[in-house]
Chain A
Amino acid sequence: MTLLLQTLIFGCLIGGVYALMSSGFTLIFGVMDVINLAQGCLLITGAYLSWWMWQRTGLDPLLLGVLSSAALYGIGWLLYKGVVARVQRVDPGLTLVATFAVAVAGEGVIALVFGTSDRSATPSYFNTSFHLGSLSVPKAQLYACIGALVVLGGLYALLRGTFLGRAIRACASSRGGAELVGIDVERAMAQMFALGAATTGFGGAALSVLYQFLPDSQDIWIGRVLCVVVLGGLGSLPGALAGAVVLGLGEALTSTYWDVRWTTAVPYMLILAILLLRPQGLFGITLRREGARA
């Protein structure tokens, strides 16, 4: 029983972190129909920025995620204006290729700037746990998970309760309709893309504490991000949270009760399963989007 409870704790906590890493991806797709394959690169950039600031200031790397996010907001805005918007005007389908190219080039730039050695932020709590009887609750995972819930809640509130959020949701429903009511669609899109990148900055900060990372670590994480958003439903924030927890639990249970070797295959097995059983994902975004467009 202890083993099961411990496994569930690990799964839920890491699921929260996965949700934070994936929220930007699902938002950008949900609003803009852009599959941003540079998401993994943005995530690793956020991790490097947090690590770099932690090294120089000694401040908490998770809190430094605020500054990483600000930087990634700017990077996201530039990426949208410089690449995505331009490519979309030629052929929206090319954004997939363009963001992949950005990911490849970005990896090289990161390697040039930060080098190719393994990095990791190690604040005082990075390897410690709260102990509840025989159960361990890793502090870093717990703090990152709480941070994930705060950021996702804030993002949800922004989308629901601010003019920018309403403008973004209007664009997601119908760009033409949004233009008719006076919304600057191009500006809202840029804001959306930048906001998606900024949330990834928080995910990168969590990654910097929880794992070692290299410039090419994005290859590992983009698969998990894709799984989370496909599982939860492309474009859905609550879906991303649900998908992330399912993935986290799936990995932890597989590792403990089946075979460790299969753990990294869990995201892909979940993608296959959800596409076969419920292609629109757990939160049925396809139906919502069709309804909105109708």
Chain B
Amino acid sequence: MRPTAHAPLRRRPRLALCLGVPLLLAAAGCGASSTSHAGSGSGTITIGMSLPLSGAVADNSKSGYQGYQLWADQLNAHGGLLGRKVKLVVLDDGFTQSTAISDYNKLIGQQHVDLLLGTFSSFLNLPVAEVAERNKYVYIEPSGGADSIFARNFNYLFFAQPATTQNLPDQFVAQIAALPAAQRPRTAAFVTQDDPNTSEATKLFKDQLAKLGVKSVYDSTYAPDTSNFDAIANAIKQAAPDLVVQGALAEDGVSLIRSFQKVGFTPKTLFQTNSPSDTSYPDAVGTRNTEGVLTALAYSPDAPTPGNGAFVSAYKAKYSTVPSDDAANSYTAGQVLAAAVTAVGRLDQSAIADWLHKNTVSTIVGPLSWDAAGKPKGSLLLAQWQNGKLQIVAPAAEATSKQIEWAKPGWSQ
């Protein structure tokens, strides 16, 4: 699962014992070795960040860290920032809020880094953004799209994704609205994991679809550690909706499909958040069963946005895998910071923030611009699994497929 605008990192308790420790050591080494360069007026520019390299989401944050590393390597290979090399000062917060706060205070107050970059998840960015704001440091976060983060109207906060959870239903609802009334779904089931992002998104779907005359016939919220979806699937089958919207974060999206198959129910249209963009999704549900499933994306390796192809190639060459949302979002955060610093021409936090509020930055996820609270003004992509590939179907400018399949084929056994 990937932390996108609408998805916090999934917690995997204790999983990092094996993965996190080496990363922790690497990160600690990185941070220590860079201390002597911190805060220098000339020479290396130090960029501080604290990431959950160990702890509950260590496995997820690894690709985010790699995105930052690739961005810094490429920047240095092209002469650095303002003619100076950049060095990442990376600390490990273990996916703990108090440690993240402490780390960013340390980066600012003790290591005197020149610039900051953000951590992952709404969970961590919520308190950390306040630290940056208090110290008047520009804080560009690669993930953390919960509305509560932007409700505080911070001046130095910027979100490096095209949109937040609030915009998640936009493209899908617009496509439904564009259908002739007779072809629109009449009834819908809404089922979501009990999570701030998916719950909020599912409620938005429900409210916006209701305005189009789509009647809710099932609405329930399940706990994050729910493993058996048979009873839920059976209840949805009994309600017989035309459309099912699931606020899924990870394997729960796969589990509901499996249970649909067992109870013998295929919705005409199925929209799931997050799960369908996971690399393991087609294997888990069967490639033929992905056909017609819709989702929202913050990023796609196939998107024809400026620089995306080069980024994907470079990432593949360096890490031998396709970049995840996390990797792309980190890279984007770096792009945004570099663009602003370059435009301002000096390490002046206030001037950098002002510039970002007034300008648009071209990134691998498309052009980004922000409102006064640091909320991006763009929209997410609407994607659909077609012939074994996740195609972008809206907006038209970024579409890789011109057709949306509204009638989902039956499950393949």
Listed A/B pairs (20) with beta-carbon separation below 8 Å: A6-B263, A10-B231, A14-B228, A105-B17, A108-B15, A112-B18, A112-B19, A116-B59, A120-B284, A128-B413, A141-B230, A212-B254, A212-B284, A215-B15, A216-B14, A255-B228, A255-B231, A260-B221, A260-B226, A264-B225
Q: Is B175 an interface residue (CB 8 A)?
A: no
Contacts of A60 in B (CB 8 A): none
Q: A127-B258, A219-B13 are in contact. Are A263 and B223 (CB under 8 A)?
A: yes
Residue among B13, B18, B225 having the largest count of chain A Cβ atoms under 10 Å? B18
Among the listed A2, A111, A122, A256, which residue makes an inter-chain contact with B231, where contact means beta carbons less than 8 Å apart? A256
Additional A-B contacts beyond A127-B411, A255-B235 (19; CB < 8 A): A2-B238, A3-B234, A6-B234, A7-B231, A7-B234, A10-B234, A108-B14, A111-B15, A111-B17, A116-B15, A124-B413, A129-B262, A216-B12, A219-B13, A255-B232, A256-B231, A260-B221, A260-B223, A261-B222
Q: A127-B262, A128-B261, A264-B223 are in contact. Are A216 and B230 (CB under 8 A)?
A: no
B251 and A216 form a contact (CB under 8 A): no
Q: Is B255 an interface residue (CB 8 A)?
A: yes
**Interface range on chain A: under 10, 10 to 19, 20 to 34, or 35 or more?**
35 or more
Contacts of B380 in A (CB 8 A): none
Among the listed A2, A124, A216, which residue makes an inter-chain contact with B15, where contact means beta carbons less than 8 Å apart? A216
Contacts of A118 in B (CB 8 A): 250-251, 254, 280, 284
Q: Is B194 an interface residue (CB 8 A)?
A: yes
Contacts of B367 in A (CB 8 A): none
Query: What 1/0 mask marks residues of chain A from 199 to 218 whose CB sits below 8 Å from any chain B CB?
Result: 00000000000011011100
Q: A128-B413, A212-B284, A256-B234 are in contact. Are A263 and B15 (CB under 8 A)?
A: no
User: Complex: how many Å from CA A264 to CA B250?
Assistant: 17
A111 and B223 form a contact (CB under 8 A): no
Contacts of B250 in A (CB 8 A): 118
What is B's interface to A at a CB cutoff of 8 Å?
Answer: 12-15, 17-19, 59, 191, 194, 220-223, 225-228, 230-232, 234-235, 238, 250-251, 254-255, 258, 261-264, 280, 284, 286, 411, 413
B263 and A136 form a contact (CB under 8 A): yes
Contacts of A122 in B (CB 8 A): 284, 286
A131 and B221 form a contact (CB under 8 A): no
Contacts of B231 in A (CB 8 A): 7, 10, 251-252, 255-256, 260, 263
Among the listed B14, B262, B264, which residue makes an inter-chain contact with A104, where contact means beta carbons less than 8 Å apart? B14
A232-288 contacts to B (CB < 8 Å) = 251-252, 255-256, 259-261, 263-265
Contacts of B286 in A (CB 8 A): 122, 127
Q: A10-B230, A220-B225 are in contact. Are A259 and B18 (CB under 8 A)?
A: no
Tally of A-B Cβ pairs under 8 angstroms: 122
Contacts of A3 in B (CB 8 A): 234-235, 238
Contacts of A263 in B (CB 8 A): 222-223, 226, 228, 231
Query: What 1/0 mask marks residues of chain A from 124 to 137 whose CB sits below 8 Å from any chain B CB?
Result: 10111101000010
A129 and B223 form a contact (CB under 8 A): no
What is A's interface to B at a CB cutoff of 8 Å?
Answer: 2-3, 6-7, 10, 14, 104-105, 107-109, 111-112, 116-118, 120, 122, 124, 126-129, 131, 136, 138, 141, 211-212, 214-216, 219-220, 251-252, 255-256, 259-261, 263-265
User: Complex: how many Å from CA A211 to CA B238?
Assistant: 23
Contacts of A261 in B (CB 8 A): 194, 220-223
B262 and A128 form a contact (CB under 8 A): yes
* Chain B residue with Cβ nearest A6: B234
User: Complex: how many Å from CA A6 to CA B262?
Assistant: 12
User: Complex: how many Å from CA A2 to CA B234?
Assistant: 10
B264 and A129 form a contact (CB under 8 A): yes
Contacts of A127 in B (CB 8 A): 258, 261-262, 286, 411, 413
User: Complex: how many Å from CA A107 to CA B251?
Assistant: 19
Contacts of A126 in B (CB 8 A): 258
Contacts of B14 in A (CB 8 A): 104, 107-108, 216, 219
Contacts of A255 in B (CB 8 A): 228, 231-232, 235
